[in-house]
Structure 1
Amino acid sequence: MNIPAACRNRPGRSVHGGIRIVAALASVVLLASCTARDVPAPHPSPTASATAEVTATPEASTFTFGTAADPRTLDPALANDTESYRVTQQVLQGLVGVDPLTSEPTALLAESWEEKDDGRTYAFTLREDVVFQDGEPFDAEAVCANFDRWYTLPAGARSGTASLPFKDVFRAFSDQPEVSLYSGCTATGKYSVDLKLTSRITGLISALAAPAFAISSPAALEAGAADELSESREGVEISRYGQAPVGTGPFELASWQPGTVELSFFDGYWGERGEIDRVVFTTIPSPDSRARALTAGRIDGYDFVSVDSAVDLARNGLQFLQRDPYSVLYLGLNEDFPGVDNVLFREAVAHAIDKDSLIDGRFLNGTKPARQFIPEKLGVSGERVEDYGYDLDLAKDLLTRSGYDGRPLPFYYPRNVSRAYLPSPEKAYAELSRQLTEAGFTIKPVPVEWSDGYAATVQQSGDRAFHLLGWSGSYDDPDNFVGALFGSYSDEFGYDDPQLVSKINRARGLPDGEDRSDAYADISAQIAARIPAVPLAFPISALAMSARVSTYPVSPVMNEVFNRIDLADVEPRPTPSG
C-alpha cells in the first residue's frame, strides 16, 4: 500500500483525520481472506465493574487495543516477544528512554549519564522523585539489584528461550564470567550508580532503552520468586513475579486472564498522567478479525495491519499509522539437518527465492527485499553483500551439484499470529514453498500454532530444514540485529562460525564512526557468503486506530507508551502535584 509522504504519521503528531485511509487507495492488492473468527468480548477482571466490557461505545478514559497474541510473560527480563513487551513497557521503565522522533536514547529513570574509563564505566545520575507501584523507593540500590539479578540469572530461569537480551548485549551470564562484559554495578550514592564493564559496548546506552532492561521493584522480585519458574500459564513456564510485575511506569497491572490484560493508571506515577485511566489488551490472532473489531467499535486500535484488511479500513475511514521499517523477515536454514550443511544447497535456496514475488500482494507497499540483516536506517553499506538474485535454472543446477537426493525437507511456519516482520505467515509460507518446490526441493509443511511456542520450537535443535521467522529491532544499533542473531552459536541455525563471532565481538566495542560501520558491513558480507539464513524483506508495519484517537506515539522500535495517547473526546487531566 502506498501512503503519501504527507500522510505518514510521526510520533507525537495528531493522527486525527489526516492519516485516515481513503477508499481511493486502489493500489492495495486484494487476496483471498484468511479464515478468521470474530473477536469475543474480553473477560472482565474480578475488580472491574459491569460496564468494563468492551462495547461499541468505550468508556471515555479507557483505551482498548487488539493484540495478535497473548503475552508469554510479564517479566521483561525473561521475555523476547513483542506482545509481552507491549504490556510491560506500560508498567515498567528503564534508565534510558527513546526519543519519539529520532529513536535516539533519552533520559528516563536516569536523568543523565557519563562515560568513563574509555567506555568501561558509565556513571548514571537517577531521578529522585520516583517510587515503585508497591510503594518501595526507586534508588541506586534498586538499580544495582536489577543488574545483578540479570547477570546471575540461573540456567533454569533462562530455559524456554534461545537467547535473552542481557546475553545479546553483555555476551554471557555469571556462569561464564570470563566471557561476560558485565563487571558490576555500584551504588555511589543514594541516586547515583556506576555500571562497570570489562570492555566497551558502544551501543550500551541505546541497548538500555530496550524493554528487557526495565527496572523492577526488588521487593516484588523477591516476593514473587522471580527466578523460579514454578508456575505454568498456557503451557509456558513462568514465575509468580512474571504474572504480577511491579515497576515505575504510568500503568499498573489490574488483571491478566487468558485473552485479556487490564491495566489501570498508577496514581503515584512521577511523569505525565495523560488521558488514559484504563488500558485493556484483548487478543485477536487474525488481522481480519482485528479489523472488524475496530470497524465495529469494539476496540480503539490494533497493530499489524494486513493487505487484506486495508481496503475495508479505507472504506470505513479509519486511521492508518505507518512505522518506519525496523524489522527483518528471514528464512532460517538448519545446518544440522542432513544436506543443509552443504553451501551449494544453501546457495540453491537463495537463488530459488523470488523476493519481489513474495512481497507483492502479501506486504504493504514500501516493503523492500532484504540483501542483509541490518536495516537501511542504520546506515551499514550492503555493497559487499552477495546478492543472490532469483535464478531458477541456477538454483536447480546448484541443487543437483549439492547431491540433494529428494528427501522431504521439513519446513516450519507459524499459524494464527501477526508480527511486524510477518503479517500473514500462512501466505508467505505458501509462496516460499511454491518457489522452492519449483526449484526441485521436496517440501514437507510443518505448521505450528504461535501460541504453542513456535518461536522457542524453531530456536532449539530439532528435525527441521527450514523455518520462517524474523527479528524486530528494539534499539538503534546494528548489533541489535547481527549480534542478537549470529553473535554466538545457536541451535536455530546449527551454524558454528567462531570467526564471525569474533568479528561481532570486536565491532560492538568500536567507537561510532566509519570504522564501526565498515566492520558491520564486513560482518554482513560474511553472513551472506555462508548463508545461515536468507534475509527476505524489511517489512512495513502499520497500526489502525479509531477516530476517537487523536494522537498515538508511533515508534519504529515500538516504544509506544499509552499515557502519550490523546483521545478526541477526553479533556486532559492535570498531572498530580507532589
Structure 2
Amino acid sequence: MARSIRRRELLQAAAVAALLTGCTGAPGPKPAPSSSTDAPPSATFTFGTPAPPTGLDPAVTTDIESWRITRQVLEGLLTTDPDTGAPAPSLATKWSQSSDLLSYTFTLREGIRFHDGTAFTAAAVKANFDRWFAFTPALRAGRILPFTAVFKAHSDAAQLSVYKGCTVLSNTQVRIDLTQPLTSFLQALTTPAFAISSPAALAAGTADVEDQSAFGSKISRYATHPVGTGPFRFKEWTQDRVLVESSPDYWGPRGQIAQLSFVVFDQAQSRLQALVDGRIDGYDAVTLDNIETLVRKGFQVVRRDPFSVMYLGMNQAVPFLQNEKARLAIASAINRDAVIRPFFLEDTKPAAQFVPPKLNGFNQAGGFPSYDPEKAKRLLTEAGYHGEELKFCYPLDVTRLYLPSPEKVFAELSAQLIRVGLNIKPVPIEWSDGYLQQVTAPGDHALHLLGRYGTYADPDDFLSPLFGSKTGEFGFFDAPLFSKIERARGLPEGSDRTQAYQTINAQLAGSAPAVPIAFPISAVAVSARVDSYPTSPVLNETFNRVTLKTS
C-alpha cells in the first residue's frame, strides 16, 4: 500500500513538473530576436527518438519521426500559432479568400533562398503544388498520400479532385483554386506534408522515383537529402542518426543550437539511460516506466495535450470481419481501462470515438460498445464464428506517441479477445521491417495495432484519411459513409458541421470498422541545460525555439 501511494505521489509530481515546464496551451517560449548583433548559434543538441525516419520527403510520408526532422528543414506557406493552434504566417505573410470560397491568394515572404541557394518565389510554390497534383498511380500505390487525403484525387482524375490549380500572380503572389469549398484548407496547409521544397533539389534528387531503400521503405534520392528554407539545413543521415545544422541565412530567429542530432533509441529504457548518462539532451515518448526515475533524478517532463487516437484495426478483406456482428463482438470484448492504466501516461482517457475531445464534432457520449464480454460471446455465436484463426499484427522494438508499449498492449488485448473465444494468431513485425506499410496495404492481416496522430485541428484530419475512402488497412467500402465525410468537410464552421461529424461518429460506432481505445497523453523529457522546450499538440516543435540555460 505504501509503495502504491508513493508511486501516485511521484506521478502527481511529474504532472506538476509538466505544468511548470510548458504544458500545451501555455504560451511557447519567445525566441530571441534575430539581428546582425545577435551571437550566432553555437550549442550542440542531441535528441533521442523512438524510431528512425522512413524518409525525408514529407509529401510522401505521414510518419511522425520523419516529419519531426523535416519540420526543422522545410517550411510551408503557413504554420500553427503556438498559443491558439490557428494558421499563422510562415513563407506566406498574409492571405485572403474569395467570396465564392474557392480561391485563396497568398502574399509570399521576400528575399528568401532555399538552402541550395536558389530563390524562393511564387514559381517555386507552384512547382511543388504541380508536383503533388501530378503524383502517379505507381507512386500512390498501397498508401494514402497526404495530398490525396486532403484533396481526394490527382491530375489523372482531375474531375474528382478538390484541388484545381495554382497560378503565379507575381513573383511574390500565388493563387490556389479549389473545385469546391474545403473548410479545413488553411489548417491542412500547416502540416509538414505541404512544406515547400527547392524545385532544383527535387529535380536533382529525382524526387518521384523511389529507387532507394531505408528501414523497409522505398524512397527517392531526394528523400535522403531534403532542401528547404527552414531554421536548420540537412547535413547527413546515417544508420542511427540524422544531423542538421543551423542555416546561416534563415529569415527568422536562429535560436541557440548550431548542430542538432536526432539519435534513435528504440527501447524506452535505453532512451532514459542515455539521458541519465548525459549522452542526449532530451527525448520523446516518455513511458509510464520512465516517470519514477525521471522525477527522482530531477529531469523535466513536458507533457502535450492529447491529440491522437490509438485503435485496434480490423481488415474486412478477411471474410469473417465483413460481418458487422463479428466486429461489434470484438469491440465489446475490449476493456479499455485494463489497457490504459498499466501502459499509458497519467490522464490518458479511454476513447469511444475517433475524434479527440477538443475538436468540432466530438460526441460526448461516444457511441462505441463498452466492455461487455457476455455480449461479445453472444455476438460471436450470432455471427457464426467457428474458431477461425485471426492474424493479429503488432510492432516490435518501437515506441509510438500513441502506442508507448506495443508488445504489452498486444498481450493485454489478445488475452481479452481469447477470453471471449477468439482464436488469435500473434504476428509480431519489426517496425523497421516496414510494419506501417504491411498493415496499411491490402493483405490478410485480420487485426492490427496502430494510431492516428493529428497534424491539424480539424476532425477531417482524423476521419478522411481513416474512413473517407477504401483503404488496404480496413478493406471496406461504404459509399454512404464516404459521402457523409465528403459533405462534412465542405460545410462552414457552425452547428451544421458539428452535427454532421457527430452523425458520422455515430455511424462509425454502429458499424465498427476499427475500435478506438485511447486518447494518449505524450511527453518529452529534457535535461537540466534546457530552460524551455516548446511542446505542441500537433508536434510543431522546431528546435530554434528551444532555449538553453546560459550559466
How far off its partner does 1:379 sit? 3.6
Aligned residue for 1:291, secondary structure, equals helix
Alignment partner, residue 516 of structure 1: 497
1:367-390 CA-to-partner distances (Å, cap 9, x unmatched) read: 001011000011424156424111
Deviations 1:191-237 (A, max 9, x none): 00000000011000000000010000011111111111122233321
| TM-fit CA distance, 1:288 | 1.1
User: 1:339 aligns to what SS in structure 2?
Assistant: helix
Hey, what's the Cα distance between the residues in 1 that align with 2:366 and 2:288? 30
Q: 1:6 to 1:385 in 2, by over 3 A?
A: closer
Matched, 1:413 2:426: no
Query: Would you identify which runs of 4 or more consecutive aligned residues in structure 1 move more than 3 Å?
Result: 4-8, 10-15
Partner deviation per Cα, 1:271-317 (whole Å, 9 max, x = no partner): 11110100001010011110110111100011110111111111111
- Given candidates 137, 149, 153, the residue that maps to 2:135 is 153
CA spacing shift, 1:388–1:139, aligned 2, 3 Å? same
Hey, what does 1:558 align to over in structure 2?
Answer: 539
2:169 aligns to what? 188
Among residues 328, 340, 356, which one is paired with 1:359 in the alignment? 340
Distance 2:140 2:528 in 1: 42
CA deviations on 1:114-173 (whole Å, 9 max, x unpaired) are 0104211000011013111011111100001000100001223334x5211101110111
Kindly provide the amino acid, as one letter, of the partner of residue 370 in structure 1.
A
Secondary structure of the structure 1 residue equivalent to 2:237: strand
Secondary structure of the 2:301 match is strand
Which of 456, 467, 470 aligns to 1:489? It is 470
Secondary structure at the aligned position of 1:187 is classed as strand
Deviation at 1:14, TM superposition (A): 6.4
CA distance in 2, matches of 1:346, 1:7: 43
Amino acid of the residue matched to residue 198 of structure 2? S
The SS at the match of 1:229 is: coil
> Is the Cα–Cα contact under 8 Å of residues 384 and 521 in structure 1 kept in the other structure?
no
Counterpart Cα distance in 1 of 2:23 and 2:296:
23
**2: CA distance, partners of 1:60 / 1:183:** 45
Q: Which residue of 2 aligns with 1:70?
A: 52
Deviation at 1:248, TM superposition (A): 0.3
Counterpart of 1:114? 96
> Does the CA contact (< 8 Å) of 1:61 and 1:278 recur in 2?
yes
Contact 1:384/1:522 (8 A) holds in 2: no
Counterpart residue type for residue 469 of structure 2: S
Unaligned runs of 5+ in 2: 1-10, 31-40
User: Cα distance, 1:13 vs. partner?
Assistant: 4.8
Counterpart-to-counterpart distance in 1, 2:460 and 2:368: 22
Q: Which residue matches 1:9? A: 22
Looking at structure 2, the residues matched to 424 and 300 of structure 1 have their Cα atoms a distance apart, in angstroms, of 23
Q: Distance in 1 between matches of 2:342 and 2:189?
A: 37
Equivalent of 2:86, from 91, 94, 104?
A: 104
- Spell out, residue by residue over 1:383-410, the C-alpha distance to the aligned partner (whole angstroms, 9 max, x if none): 5642411111111111111111112211
Partner Cα distance (2:374, 2:66) in 1: 44
SS at match of 1:409: strand
Alignment of 1:6-85 (within 5 A): 6-7=19-20, 9-10=22-23, 13=28, 61-85=43-67
Q: Take 2:350 and 2:424, find their aligned partners in 1: how far apart are those partners?
A: 23
Say whether the 8 Å CA contact 2:352–2:368 is kept in structure 1.
yes
User: How far did residue 340 of structure 1 move?
Assistant: 0.9
- Is residue 2:505 matched to residue 1:505? no
Q: Distance in 2 between matches of 1:325 and 1:386?
A: 20
Which residue is 2:8 aligned to? none
Q: 2:183 aligns with which of 194, 202, 205?
A: 202
Summarize the Cα distance change of 1:229–1:309 in structure 2 as closer, same or farther, 3 Å threshold. Answer: same
SS in 1 for 2:487: helix
Residues in 1 aligned to 2:47 and 2:111: alpha-carbon distance in whole angstroms: 30
Contact 2:106–2:174, Cα closer than 8 Å, also in 1: yes
Alpha-carbon distance in structure 2 between the residues aligned to 1:453 and 1:428:
20
Matched, 1:296 2:277: yes
Structure 2 CA distance for aligned equivalents of residues 380 and 550 of structure 1: 37
Structure 1 contact 14–550 (Cα < 8 Å) conserved = no
User: Cα deviations across residues 477-530 of structure 1 (Å, max 9, x unaligned)?
Assistant: 100000111111111111110111111111111111111111111111111111
How far apart are 1:66 and its partner, in Å?
Answer: 0.4
Q: Does 1:248 align with 2:229?
A: yes
Q: Which residue of 1 aligns with 2:246?
A: 265
More helix by percentage: 2
* TM-score for both structures, normalised by structure 1: 0.89
Give the distance between the partners of 2:161 and 2:487, measured in 1 at CA.
Answer: 14
* Alignment match of 1:539 (pick from 517, 520, 523): 520
Compute the TM-score of the two structures, normalised by the length of structure 2. Answer: 0.93
C-alpha contact 1:252 1:264 (8 A) present in aligned 2: yes
Give, in whole Å, the separation in 2 of the partners of 1:322 and 1:412. 29
Answer yes or no: is 1:125 the counterpart of 2:74. no
Contact 2:42 2:258 in 1 (8 A): no
Amino acid at match of 2:20: C
- The change in CA–CA distance for 1:135 and 1:234 in structure 2 (over 3 A counts) is same
Q: Which amino acid is the alignment partner of residue 174 of structure 1? A: S
Query: Could you tell me which residue of structure 2 aligns to residue 44 of structure 1?
Result: none
2:264 equivalent in structure 1: 283
Q: Name the amino acid aligned to 1:70.
A: P
Deviation at 1:87, TM superposition (A): 0.4
Tell me which amino acid in the other structure corresponds to 2:22: N
> Measured at CA, do residues 261 and 436 of structure 1 come closer, stay the same or move farther in structure 2, by a change above 3 Å?
same
CA contact (8 A) 2:356 2:362 kept: no
Percent of paired sites with the same residue: 50
Distance between the aligned counterparts of 1:60 and 1:182, measured in 2? Answer: 43
Aligned counterparts of 1:87 and 1:381: Cα–Cα separation in 2:
31
Distance 2:19 2:74 in 1: 34
Structure 1 residue ranges without an equivalent (≥5): 16-58, 571-578
Structure 1 residue 263, shift from structure 2 partner: 0.5
Q: Aligned partner of 1:89: which letter?
A: R
For the pair 1:213 / 2:200, whether they are aligned, the reply is: no
The residue that corresponds to 2:210 in the other structure is 229
Secondary structure of the 1:377 match is coil
1:48-92 CA distance string (max 9 Å, x none): xxxxxxxxxxx9601100011111111111111001000000000
Question: 2:58–2:67: 8 Å Cα contact kept in structure 1?
Answer: yes
Q: Which residue of 2 aligns with 1:342?
A: 323
Aligned to 2:36: none
| CA RMSD, 1 decimal | 1.5
Is the contact made by 1:10 and 1:101 (CA closer than 8 Å) also made in structure 2?
A: no
CA distance in 2, matches of 1:389, 1:299: 42
Q: Map 1:357-436 to 2 at 5 A.
A: 357-383=338-364, 385-436=366-417
SS at match of 1:278: strand
**1:177 positional shift:** 1.0
CA distance in 2, matches of 1:416, 1:167: 30
The amino acid that maps onto 1:506 is: R
Pairing 1:445–2:426 present: yes
CA distance in 2, matches of 1:108, 1:13: 17
8 Å Cα contact 1:156-1:229 kept in structure 2 = no
Give the 3-state SS of the residue equivalent to 1:177 in structure 2. helix
